[in-house]
Structure 1
Amino acid sequence: MTWTWEYLPDEERVAGGCPADFLVDVEQRAGELVRAAEAVHLDGTTYQGGGEPMRYLDVAGGLLAYYVVPRLELVVICQLTPPPGS
């Protein structure tokens, strides 16, 4: 398996209506989150712990909500809040 990220339930519901420049920053941060998770969980498929909590990250003045699913080697982006006035 290879670590990746995705929008859940889908890109339209999570990112629909967000400004393009904000989404560029979100996708860059998602890539960084994937690399960090991969460094922490060298083989996520063997992970035995409980579920990881939802986390929030400031992105370009907006907010990104995500969680990591080690056994699936997946970072899930589940909510975006674009910067005010965008």
Structure 2
Amino acid sequence: MSWGWEYHPDEETRVGGMPPVFVALVEEKAAELVRAAEAKYLDGTLYEGFSEPGTVFVGGGMFDYLIIQRHERVYIMQVTPPL
């Protein structure tokens, strides 16, 4: 398995109808989080600690994410678009 990111539960639920420019910024930041997690957890499948939640502010909006090391995934849990 290799590191990646995905919307939870799916893309339409999280970013459906949001401005494409904002969605692109969210996805760019998600890719950065994946690279950071991949460097921090060299073999996430062996990790036995707690999952790592966080919030990222981007493009006037924000998103919440959860890193599940054993899945080697960054899950985008909530996206709040700019006002």
Question: Normalised by the shorter chain, which TM-score bucket?
Answer: over 0.9
CA RMSD, Structure 1 to Structure 2 (Å):
0.8
Does residue 10 of the first structure (1) align with residue 1 of the second (2)? Answer: no
User: What one-letter code is carried by the residue in structure 2 that aligns with 1:51?
Assistant: S
Offset of residue 43 of structure 1:
0.3
Q: Give distance in 1, aligned partners of 2:30 and 2:50.
A: 22
Unaligned runs of 5+ in 2: none
Unaligned runs of 5+ in 1: none
Question: Which stretches of structure 1, 4 residues or longer, exceed 2 Å deviation after superposition?
Answer: none
Question: So what's the TM-score if we normalise by structure 2?
Answer: 0.96
Are the counterparts in 1 of residues 51 and 66 from structure 2 also a CA contact under 8 Å?
no
User: What one-letter code is carried by the residue in structure 2 that aligns with 1:55?
Assistant: G
Are the counterparts in 1 of residues 62 and 81 from structure 2 also a CA contact under 8 Å?
yes
Offset of residue 51 of structure 1:
2.7
Number of aligned residue pairs: give it. 83
| Larger CA deviation: 43-52 vs 29-38 | 43-52
Residue of structure 1 in register with 2:62 after alignment: 63
Q: Give distance in 1, aligned partners of 2:18 and 2:80.
A: 8
Q: Give distance in 1, aligned partners of 2:43 and 2:37.
A: 10
